[in-house]
Amino acid sequence: MKWSLKLGRILGIDVYIHFTFLLLLGFVGLAAWMQGGTAWSAISAVFLWSAMFLCVLLHEYGHALAARKYGIATRDITLLPIGGVARLERMPDKPRQELWVAVAGPLVNVIISAGLALGLILGGSWRPSGAFDLLAGNIAERLLYVNLFLVVFNLLPAFPMDGGRVLRALLAMRMPYARATSIAASIGQGMAILFGFIGLFGPYMLILIAVFVWFGAGQEAAAAEIRTSLEGARVCDAMLTEFHTLSPEQTIGEASRMLLAGSQQDFPVVENGVVVGMLRRTDLFNGLKAHGENYPVAEAMRREVTFVDPAQALDFAVAQVNAEHGTTVVALENGRIAGLLTAENIGEYFFIRAALAKRGQQPPPIPGARPSAPPLIRPPLIPHHGETTAR
Ligand code: ZN
């Protein structure tokens, strides 16, 4: 994520903190200092907020480690002022697995709450104040309330909250995935209307949550529709098989002429038959701006290339293309490029399939793609999956 600072790598997952989050900490410290008047009140407020976000981070690790158990890697975790985001490489496709991955986050906060409550009770001196105050009171007690809030808030049965996924997973155990999603999304949007309505009478925060939930539910329903409509399709069904490649010695001037001549936007860079990088349209523009036409492709390209298997299930590959923000991924077969998978091609394939489905037909095979259908690869983790780096 842009504007993020890397905190470190814990248990094999990169943890980032967003710049706005640091601003928030600064603001909290300043507000406490102005209210309390001492450096100590500022330090204790910053400490409390940092501890709160440590609980959010642990929550995200709950999701990430549960996903890892099912062979799903997590790209990174970012802490934002509104909470944490764990970017899973994909969502699990078995309802039971989705249920566990979704529950694991709030479960961490349940465990932390239990630990804090036990500590407070054993400490003997705890008299529950019953009211939550961010600026005053026992820090352990305030953290306990924060964790309880995280449990309740995240378990609201509405997308994009964890509770929405729990609900969908429970429904999907009894009915098709698409129907489960549409019911869960409708319940979520119903809750959004309710929150919005209650919010009108005072707790304005609820209006914000309502908007957040409304769009989250809509997004989830659309994603599920795409996933269902791509069921059974493989990467080789939708990939681009007529494409051009560049060599590292070529100049970006030559690349810009190739860009103009055709409709291809991202060019794989190949050296001795091996993909060594990818020159995207934006890299090309940036290179031209900074260095002019004679700049070599080898300098302008990016070396990180995502590879997929042509026999891989298309819906998983779509998740990868999305994770790369729509950047072209390379379909590699026995070390050679078999095709390119672009957001545009996926969209075209989607519409062709939808149009033919109305007539009860299948899309035609792509010229150049293998005629005999290879077995559909749907393993938990493909050998060169995701962040494969070509160097
Ligand atoms: Zn969560």
Q: How confident is the model at residue 222 (pLDDT cuts 50, 70, 90)?
A: confident
pLDDT over 70 at 385, yes or no: no
Vertex 146 angle, CA 141 and 149, to 5°: 125
Q: How far is the CA of 302 from the centre of ligand 1 (A)?
A: 33
Whole-number average pLDDT of the chain: 80
pLDDT over 90 at 103, yes or no: yes
> What is the rounded CA–CA span in Å between residue 188 and residue 332?
40
Q: How far is the CA of 107 from the centre of ligand 1 (A)?
A: 9
Note the pLDDT of residue 136. 59
Whether the CB-CB separation of 320 and 387 falls below 8 Å is answered with no
Q: How confident is the model at residue 117 (pLDDT cuts 50, 70, 90)?
A: confident
> What is the rounded CA–CA span in Å between residue 40 and residue 95?
49
pLDDT over 60 at 387, yes or no: no
Whether the CB-CB separation of 340 and 331 falls below 8 Å is answered with yes
Q: How far is the CA of 160 from the centre of ligand 1 (A)?
A: 9
Note the pLDDT of residue 253. 93
Note the pLDDT of residue 166. 92
Alpha helix segments (H runs only) across the chain: 19-36, 39-69, 95-123, 139-154, 162-172, 177-199, 205-229, 235-238, 252-261, 281-291, 297-300, 314-323, 343-358
> What is the rounded CA–CA span in Å between residue 16 and residue 354?
40
Q: How far is the CA of 163 from the centre of ligand 1 (A)?
A: 9
Note the pLDDT of residue 25. 79
Q: How far is the CA of 215 from the centre of ligand 1 (A)?
A: 17
Percent pLDDT > 90 in the chain is 19
Q: How far is the CA of 134 from the centre of ligand 1 (A)?
A: 22
Assigned superfamily of 235-357 = CBS-domain (3.10.580.10)
> What is the rounded CA–CA span in Å between residue 123 and residue 111?
18
Which two structure tokens, joined as six digits, stand for 390?
Answer: 């070509």
Average pLDDT over residues 317-325: 74
Note the pLDDT of residue 379. 36
Q: How far is the CA of 105 from the centre of ligand 1 (A)?
A: 5
**pLDDT 10s digits, 268-302:** 999 988 899 999 999 999 999 999 999 999 999 99
Percent pLDDT > 70 in the chain is 87
Note the pLDDT of residue 391. 29
**pLDDT 10s digits, 360-371:** 766 665 555 444
Length of the chain: 391
CB-hemisphere CA count at 13 Å for 94?
Answer: 10
Higher pLDDT, 323 or 310: 310
Can you state the angle between helices 343-358 and 205-229, rounded to 10 degrees?
70
Residues, beta carbon < 5 Å, ion ligand 1: 105, 154, 162
Full-prediction pTM beyond 0.85? no
Q: How confident is the model at residue 252 (pLDDT cuts 50, 70, 90)?
A: very high
pLDDT over 80 at 101, yes or no: yes
- What stretch(es) of the chain map to CATH 3.10.580.10? 235-357
> What is the rounded CA–CA span in Å between residue 41 and residue 29?
8
Average pLDDT over residues 43-58: 84
Higher pLDDT, 243 or 202: 243
How does DSSP assign 205-235, residue by residue?
HHHHHHHHHHHHHHHHHHHHHHHHHTTT-BH
